[in-house]
Amino acid sequence: MEALIERLSHLDSEAEGALRVVVFYDTLMRRRVDLPALARASAGLAECVVGIRLHGTGRTIRVTPDGRQAPVPPGPASTEGPIRLDEEEVGAVWLERTGTPAPLDEFVLDRLALSAAAVMERYGPATTTMADPALVELVISAASDEGARARALRLLGFATGLPVRVAAVRTRTPLDRVARLVCPSRPVKAASLADVGVILATTLDPEGLPTDARAGIGGVGSPERSWKQARTALRFTSERRPVVHHDGLGALALLAEVPTGTVRDNADVAAIALVAARSDDLATLEAYCAGGSLRRTAELLHLHHSSVARRIEQIGGHLGIDLTEPAGLLRASLALAAWRLLDDEEPMAGTGRSR
259-343: which CATH topology? Arc Repressor Mutant, subunit A (1.10.10)
Write out pLDDT tens, residues 320-336: 999 989 999 999 999 99
Q: What per-residue confidence (pLDDT) applies to 27?
A: 92
Q: What per-residue confidence (pLDDT) applies to 125?
A: 46
Write out pLDDT tens, residues 164-218: 999 999 999 999 889 988 988 778 899 999 789 999 998 899 998 999 999 999 9
For the chain, residues with pLDDT lower than 70 are 1-14, 56-58, 86, 123-128, 343-355
Query: Rounded to an integer, what distance in angstroms lies between the CA atom of residue 118 and that of residue 341?
Result: 46
**Candidate CATH numbers 3.30.450, 1.10.3470, 3.30.70, 3.40.50; the one for domain 2-123:** 3.30.450
Strands 165-170 and 196-201: antiparallel
Q: What per-residue confidence (pLDDT) applies to 276?
A: 86
Q: What per-residue confidence (pLDDT) applies to 297?
A: 84
Per DSSP, the three-state class of 118 is helix
Does the bond joining 36 to the residue before it have cis omega, within 30 degrees of 0?
A: no
Query: Rounded to an integer, what distance in angstroms lies between the CA atom of residue 85 and that of residue 117?
Result: 6
Instruction: Please check whether the two domains, 2-123 and 259-343, share a CATH topology.
Output: no
Q: Do residues 35 and 23 touch, judged by C-beta distance below 8 A?
A: no
Q: Do residues 108 and 65 touch, judged by C-beta distance below 8 A?
A: no
32: β partners: none
Q: What residue type is 293 in one-letter code? A: S
Q: Do residues 85 and 121 touch, judged by C-beta distance below 8 A?
A: yes
Q: Do residues 345 and 260 touch, judged by C-beta distance below 8 A?
A: yes
Q: Do residues 198 and 167 touch, judged by C-beta distance below 8 A?
A: yes
Q: What per-residue confidence (pLDDT) applies to 331?
A: 93
Q: What per-residue confidence (pLDDT) applies to 268?
A: 92
Report the b/e string of 134-158 with b at 16+ CB within 10 A.
ebbbbbbbeebeeeebbebbebbbb
Report CA 25 to chain centroid distance, whole Å. 33
Q: What per-residue confidence (pLDDT) applies to 350?
A: 37
Query: Rounded to an integer, what distance in angstroms lies between the CA atom of residue 353 and that of residue 346?
Result: 9
Tallying the residues shown for the chain, one arrives at 355
Per-domain boundaries in the chain: 2-123, 133-256, 259-343
pTM for the whole thing? 0.60
DSSP of 278-312: SHHHHHHHHHHHHH-SHHHHHHHHT--HHHHHHHH
Query: Rounded to an integer, what distance in angstroms lies between the CA atom of residue 325 and that of residue 85?
Result: 58
| DSSP 3-state percent helix, strand, coil across the chain (nearest 5) | 50, 15, 35
